[in-house]
Amino acid sequence: MRRIPFRIPLLVKVGRITERSGWLIEGPEGWGEMSPMPRRRAQEFGAAQAFALEAGTRPFPTPVRDRVEVNALVPRVRPEEAVRIARESGCRTIKVKVGDARGEERLRAVREALGPAVRLRADANGAWDLETAEAMLRRLARYDLEYVEDPVESMADLAALRRRSPVPVAAESCVRSIADARELRRLEAADFVVLKAQRLGGVLPSLAAAEEAGVPAVASSSLETSVGLASGLALAAALPEPLAAGIGTASLLAFDVVEDPLVPVDGALSPRRPRVAESFIESAARAAGDARAVTRAAGDARAAGDARAAPRSGERR
């Protein structure tokens, strides 16, 4: 199997993330992507590898729809920038990052600019404690939200919050395995579950997690290239509920690794595997060759230095 490294800057900072890096892995079915998030690289390495190998060695599940609506992602930017991103996306569902000092202002700006016809989601990335989350959800209820994702960090707190929340809540970061999805159901902790196929080890484990969770499931990305997004798209197309998926994130990358990136058209994508660009493969091969040349040169220099430092015959150090 070919394995090609990549590193791509983001055009807009998403949380603490400013770039995405990882490897593309080629198998008999095509290319897969392995790109665990930087802060969780050690914990998610095995799942990310399984995600890439599944895509490279197995066909995607049969889709139940040939068109997947996607949500636009609005990072923690100024409210006026949030409105611009939402408008230009062409999406009918918008997910706005909150949990910071200007979160509500950002959400209000998007709602006022786009009106009631747009579905609005909020994502706090677990920023609030239970008491703060309850107060914030009561404030945010006025914006007619489809749900708030990860208002708190733990599943136990989410379960407690759900029983008092005026807004539906969604679990994402606390669901990292099929067992977690089963626990989510037992605790009745959420109204929705947001599934990232790379974090769960592939499309098939994600479908199993969706079934175990027992609530409507939304497929979402880990800010992958279009190679990884193809797996997320396959998941979204195979889920029973036609909810807008969080996989319209290719436009956040400074560049992509494929010839035909998975960029939404009229707020939707059709399931497919994009082709990895030959120009990217060639540039990666050149970079690898240059790195090998640098390594060889460094080795030669060390060897030459060792030879110069070695004592001559009969010479004592």
Please give the residue that has the higher pLDDT: either 216 or 294: 216
Q: Per-residue pLDDT tens for 49-81? A: 999 999 999 999 999 999 999 999 999 999 999
pLDDT at 3: 92
Domain with CATH 3.20.20.120 in the chain: 68-269
pLDDT at 300: 46
Question: pTM for the complete prediction?
Answer: 0.88
pLDDT band of residue 312 (cuts 50, 70, 90) is: very low
pLDDT at 60: 97
Question: CB count, 10 Å around CB of 108?
Answer: 16
Tell the CATH topology of 68-269: TIM Barrel (3.20.20)
**Helix axes of 178-187 and 155-162: crossing angle, nearest 10 degrees:** 30
Domain with CATH 3.30.390.10 in the chain: 3-57
Q: Per-residue pLDDT tens for 129-157? A: 999 999 999 999 999 999 999 999 999 99
* Arithmetic mean of pLDDT, 301-311: 46
Q: Among this protein's residues, is 13 annotated catalytic?
A: no
Query: In this structure, what token pair is assigned to residue 311?
Result: 């004592």
Comparing C-alpha atoms, which of 4, 33, 46 is closest to residue 225? 33
Catalytic residue among 76, 95, 97, 162: 97
Q: Per-residue pLDDT tens for 174-202? A: 999 999 999 999 999 999 999 999 999 99
Listed in sequence order, the residues at least 6 apart from 117 whose beta carbon sits closer than 8 Å to its beta carbon are 92
CA-CA distances (angstroms) from residue 256 to 17, 35, 234, 269? 17, 14, 19, 16
CATH pick for 3-57 out of 3.30.1130.10, 1.10.3720.10, 3.30.390.10, 3.40.50.1970: 3.30.390.10
Q: Among this protein's residues, is 95 annotated catalytic?
A: no
**Helix axes of 79-89 and 103-114: crossing angle, nearest 10 degrees:** 40
Catalytic residue among 20, 76, 106, 196: 196
pLDDT at 41: 67
